[in-house]
A and B are shown apart, each in its own frame.
Chain A
Amino acid sequence: MEKVIFIEPEKCTGCRICEIVCSLNKEGAVDPQRSRIQVVKIDSISLSVPVVCQQCYDAPCVAVCPVGALSRDEAAGIVSHDQDLCIGCKSCVAVCPFGAIGIDTKANKVFKCDLCGDDPVCVKFCETRAIQYVDANTLSLRRKREVVPNLADLLQKHTTQSAV
């Protein structure tokens, strides 16, 4: 079963617990700068969005990496990053559509989310379940179930009109 990180920004409270626990788990310190997940906040429109690697199937970062340090690991369902091969050229940082790849200025390498080996710490700590780790196969139908009630009014109106 392939599982994916699924983010619902409307549930995010902007508490940044995900940044605290990710960096603590990965770096042994609270270090939002080196957290694999970061919350972007836009106060003027009351919006907070956790941003993290989407583990793309056809990932621009993999395509652009000149030394093959990034590759799609199908078994793990992630885009994996080999620190030993990485030359720190940051091409991946430039092409990622989400800004999900960070630069570690201490190690002179880039870093990204690896789903904590199929057990993402950020998900465990997210109180509002704005960040979830879910089965990729059922996600789509689940979303449909969530969206359809919003359409119900419209559909009913349409049905009534057709009947008339």
Chain B
Amino acid sequence: MNKKIGYVNLSVGEVEEASIPESLRRLYLGGRGLNTYLLFNHLEPGTDPLSPENVLLIGAGLLSGGPVPAGSRTDIAAKSPLTGIIGDSNMGGFFSAELRFAGFDHLVIKGKSEKPVYIWINDGQIEIRDASRLWGRDTLETMDLVRQELGDEEIKVLCIGPAGENLVKFANVRTGLKNAGGRTGMGCVMGTKKLKAVAVRGTGELEVKYPREALQYYKQLQNQIMGSKTARLFSIEGSLMQYNPTNTTGILRVKNFGLNRMDDLSLTPDTFLKKYSLGSTACFGCGMHCRHKWEIKGGRYKGLRGEGPEYYTLMALGNVVYNRSWDTLLAAQSTVDKYGLDLAEAGNIIGWAMDLYNRGIISKSDTDGLDLDWENSSGVLIPLLEKIAKREGFGDVLADGIRSAVERIGRGSDQYAMEVKGLGMVGTDDRAVPSLALGVATSTRGADHLRSRPATDLFGLPEKFTEKLYGFPVSSDYNAYQTKAQLIHYMELLYEVVDSLGICKYQTIFISPTFPQYEEYSKLIHYLTGLELSVVDLRNIGERCYTLERLFDHREKGIARKDDYLPNRYYSEPTPSGVSKTRGKFLDRAEFDKMLDEYYCLHGWDFDGIPKTETLAELGLDREPSHML
């Protein structure tokens, strides 16, 4: 399963390639893990993320393209222009499988081109081509034009839209109708390099070490996953299925951080399925097919089509900005998709701006005359998204991210900014759930749930069961602080492995405790690659990669304990609504600190959250940067 790594220097137009040594696979697997290794090794400490010296990594998971349920995700990394720490985003679709069929596993892209270019990878050949006529085009047009120019409909394209070109710091990277590497502004990094797209096409094969066993095991895992009711529901509703239970419980952010439950139920998944859905589609090798195809059948946006939306879309372009119209939500999703904006960050920053407006901190004189009243969200959401993508007027203030906007606006606006480490907050309100809150606070890429979220903590699973699942008992009370640091540490390591293999989190214990995890991954790796990696080996890999991310954050921005806290409102303002377990809740700072102590200890980091020298030695990180690749 070992393809090559391609090095592309856009400043001088040079291309090189190398093989990936097995020793590095044993330490970092692929995808996110190997990307972190490459970033740590290739980026000069203190590099300005907007400079040509930033390094962009595109990597296939170790198992991408193989017979693995939902196991072909693509990981994109660089130093984040939004946060100044690790930038890393992970997306589904068909790109990484095609990259491997074309003979490559990872790409290391350096330098900056004078004029717009795209990279064309075709069966082992890498070519840098002119993209002048693609510059300015939206993401969907770009993908079509690339395929037309190269004359092959099967080409998979990863690209940026106008937001990336305009260096919006939370511009994303897109592939296909649906998929996006959303968080941390990887599209902005492509924009600084004048890199519009990467196109791939491969007709080669992907070797599988034990084909018979791999085929059988693929079926067994499919049955394990698809035999569950969770998967069946996901096949129908997609991730939207999480909206009603979490909204009703009262753990979603509404009006920035004003409410924790949307009482207006216009945005229910039911309505979407009946009025807009055209059925579902899947990513490469996935039997669960959670992606919807949709069309708006009447009204102002009649005829608009697309794929999505996700649960997260409902939070970011629905609850957070208090938009209650499905039409507006889908049209807004279409807008962020075409311009290439991270919808999570966009929703968060627009929610914040609206919050400021409604509190009288900013007015029409700040917003180019736009009325940001909560009741007018449907009217201003799309214009604001366009302003951000084009960096027009007030949009330009928002386009550099929330910390920069706080500096520019001032007037106490920082109190309402929901972010950690400069990355906009996840769409959930985790004040009642210490486990989820800790995970968002400690995430190496800033406020985010996909580094660790143990969503099943909300199920209240019995301790006897969690002991089997994790190897240690976890309190069944989701309000509890005890045992939750251990849970987050466990999940951080697991997701690191998952992202490095290229597997989708929707088919992990993220959403169902019966789904595959370490033992299954150990077997999959063996059947596909021949590598023998035990459960303990995999956990160590998880720790190595995660600690290396932390080390990178510390090296680049001095990230330490002081940066691992949620916004102040989390510790002082009680939740206004919800069920009895979620109403009137806020985090206890002393208890949170105890969780942090325990969490650092589990990672082998010191009291201040900095990896200890002996930990680095144990993980073999004391030799980094080792420049083996």
Q: Contact flags (1/0) for A40-51 with B, using CB distance below 8 Å? A: 000100101000
Contacts of B65 in A (CB 8 A): 30
For B215, give its contact among A10, A21, A31, A33 (CB under 8 Å).
A21
Contacts of A121 in B (CB 8 A): 215
Interface hit among B280-288, B381-389, B419-427, B611-619: B280-288
At the interface, yes or no: B316 with Cβ under 8 Å from chain A?
A: no
At the interface, yes or no: B224 with Cβ under 8 Å from chain A?
A: no
- Interface size class on chain B is 35 or more
Interface hit among A12-20, A87-95, A144-152: A12-20
Main secondary structure of the interface of A (DSSP, over half): helix
Interface hit among A62-70, A73-81, A124-132, A135-143: A124-132
At the interface, yes or no: B67 with Cβ under 8 Å from chain A?
A: yes
Contacts of A46 in B (CB 8 A): 278-279, 281, 293, 305
Interface hit among B184-192, B206-214, B363-371, B488-496: B206-214
Nearest neighbor of B286 in chain A, beta-carbon distance: A15
State whether B211 touches A24 (Cβ < 8 A).
yes
Within 8 A of B (CB), among A1-45: 10, 13-17, 20-21, 23-25, 27-34, 43
Contacts of B287 in A (CB 8 A): 15, 17, 125, 127
State whether A125 touches B206 (Cβ < 8 A).
no
State whether B222 touches A30 (Cβ < 8 A).
no
A13 to B279 alpha-carbon distance, docked (Å): 9
At the interface, yes or no: B226 with Cβ under 8 Å from chain A?
A: yes
At the interface, yes or no: B219 with Cβ under 8 Å from chain A?
A: yes
CB distance from B255 to the nearest CB of A (A): 35
Contacts of A24 in B (CB 8 A): 67, 208, 211, 214-215
State whether B205 touches A31 (Cβ < 8 A).
yes
Contacts of B205 in A (CB 8 A): 23, 27, 29-31, 33-34
At the interface, yes or no: B325 with Cβ under 8 Å from chain A?
A: no
Contacts of A27 in B (CB 8 A): 205
Contacts of B293 in A (CB 8 A): 46
State whether B226 touches A127 (Cβ < 8 A).
yes
Chain A residues with a Cβ closer than 8 Å to the other chain, count: 27
Q: How many A-B residue pairs have CB under 8 A?
A: 81
CB distance from A32 to the nearest CB of B (A): 7
Within 8 A of A (CB), among B244-282: 278-282
State whether B289 touches A15 (Cβ < 8 A).
yes
For A16, give its contact among B66, B203, B284 (CB under 8 Å).
B284
State whether B279 touches A10 (Cβ < 8 A).
yes
Nearest neighbor of B177 in chain A, beta-carbon distance: A43
A125 to B219 alpha-carbon distance, docked (Å): 7
Nearest neighbor of A46 in chain B, beta-carbon distance: B293
For B282, give its contact among A14, A21, A30 (CB under 8 Å).
A14
State whether A33 touches B203 (Cβ < 8 A).
yes
Contacts of B215 in A (CB 8 A): 21, 24-25, 121
State whether A13 touches B289 (Cβ < 8 A).
yes
For B289, give its contact among A28, A30, A32, A127 (CB under 8 Å).
A127
A94 to B211 alpha-carbon distance, docked (Å): 32
CB distance from B207 to the nearest CB of A (A): 5
Within 8 A of A (CB), among B65-123: 65-67, 94, 101
For the complex of A and B, the 8 pairs showing the least CB-CB separation, nearest first, are: A127-B287, A15-B282, A31-B205, A13-B289, A13-B282, A29-B205, A30-B206, A28-B211
Which residue numbers of A lie inside 8 Å of B, CB to CB? 10, 13-17, 20-21, 23-25, 27-34, 43, 46, 48, 121, 124-125, 127-128
Which residue numbers of B lie inside 8 Å of A, CB to CB? 65-67, 94, 101, 176-177, 203-208, 211, 214-215, 218-219, 222, 226, 235, 278-289, 293, 305
A sample of 18 cross-chain residue pairs with beta-carbon separation below 8 angstroms, ordered by A number, consists of A15-B283, A16-B284, A16-B285, A20-B66, A20-B67, A21-B218, A23-B205, A24-B208, A24-B211, A29-B211, A30-B66, A31-B101, A31-B206, A33-B203, A46-B305, A124-B219, A125-B287, A127-B222
